[in-house]
């Protein structure tokens, strides 16, 4: 394990840390010297990540947490402070993708599920950790930092993912509101907005050649991102290098937002006996 220094001795909570981006962030933080508290509902995978970090010489512990449950979140923060006396960093990463479906038939229960985990979970964890951070500042400690996980879908929408886009748009605004509310204590709040990243959630793209072609056609860099690339942004935002940044969402999406159109498969319609592309 490389000896890190950017986050040396910091105590970091990472939610949704059992897989994908959260797992990569937990490893990157540990590599930079942080003591990592991993949270997830996948206990086996979470314990596995904690063991991986420990085996490489880092310091990590896992706690079960459903971020949509206030008591779970409170217990998570208490576990972190009991073990380390403070919390310096929170990465609000836990989130789910909604099941594909037409807006007209989107079930209320599915909409509630997405908002509960993706948006309410960010609020509950952010508030609980912020309260602890404020107390630490008032006791003479250093201010902490919170990183929320938004998405490119905070800006651009997908018709089959209306609930997901709504939750991520909410995270963008939650980030800005939190940053203003916590600025008097020097606590910074920023977000990361990934594009398509190579996680389990993106496996359908890899297995569907046409879906991958469409995705890459609207991604100027021409490839899918890696979890480690998002983790490196999280390290920066948590470090002193980002000490004058707050209320910002950093988009890592291969250049997609710079396009002024979305490249979708060409539709065809009849024009007399001829087909014309539109």
Q: What's the Cα-to-Cα distance from 133 to each of 20, 46, 68, 86, 129, rounded to whole Å?
A: 27, 25, 21, 8, 6
Cα gap 113→109, rounded to integer Å: 6
64 is catalytic: no
Active-site position among 164, 244, 251, 261: 164
Cα gap 249→173, rounded to integer Å: 10
Cα gap 225→196, rounded to integer Å: 6
Residue 34, Cβ neighbours under 10 Å: how many? Answer: 27
Sheet holding 59-64, edge to edge: 59-64, 35-40, 11-15, 89-92, 145-149, 188-194, 249-252
Q: Which alpha helices (DSSP H) does 115-260 contain, by range? A: 121-138, 162-182, 203-207, 209-217, 227-238
Question: Which H/E stretch holds residue 192?
Answer: strand 188-194
DSSP structure class, residue 7: T
Cα gap 223→213, rounded to integer Å: 10
Residue 207, Cβ neighbours under 10 Å: how many? Answer: 9
Cα gap 68→49, rounded to integer Å: 22
Residues carrying an active site annotation: 164
């Amino acid at each position: 394990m490389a000896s890190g220094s950017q986050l040396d001795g910091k105590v970091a909570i990472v939610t949704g840390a059992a897989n994908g981006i959260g797992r990569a962030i937990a490893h990157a933080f540990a590599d930079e010297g942080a003591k990592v508290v991993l949270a997830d509902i996948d206990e086996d995978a979470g314990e596995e990540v904690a063991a991986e970090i420990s085996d490489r010489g880092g310091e990590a512990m896992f706690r079960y947490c459903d971020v949509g449950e206030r008591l779970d979140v409170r217990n998570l923060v208490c576990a972190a402070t009991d073990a380390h006396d403070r919390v310096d960093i929170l990465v609000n990463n836990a989130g789910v993708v909604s099941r594909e479906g037409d807006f007209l038939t989107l079930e209320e229960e599915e909409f509630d599920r997405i908002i509960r985990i993706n948006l309410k979970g960010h609020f509950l964890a952010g508030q609980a950790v912020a309260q602890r951070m404020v107390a630490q500042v008032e006791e003479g400690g250093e201010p902490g930092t919170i990183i929320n996980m938004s998405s490119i879908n905070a800006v651009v929408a997908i018709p089959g993912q209306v609930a997901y886009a709504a939750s991520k748009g909410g995270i963008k605004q939650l980030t800005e509101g939190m940053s203003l509310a916590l600025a008097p204590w020097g606590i910074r709040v920023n977000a990361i907005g990934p594009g398509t990243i190579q996680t389990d959630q993106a496996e359908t793209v890899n297995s569907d050649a046409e879906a991958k072609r469409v995705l890459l056609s609207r991604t100027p860099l021409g490839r899918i991102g890696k979890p480690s690339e998002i983790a490196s942004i999280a390290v920066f935002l948590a470090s002193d290098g980002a000490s004058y940044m707050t209320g910002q969402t950093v988009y890592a999406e291969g250049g997609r937002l710079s396009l002024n159109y979305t490249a979708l498969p060409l539709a065809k319609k009849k024009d007399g006996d001829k087909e014309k592309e539109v």
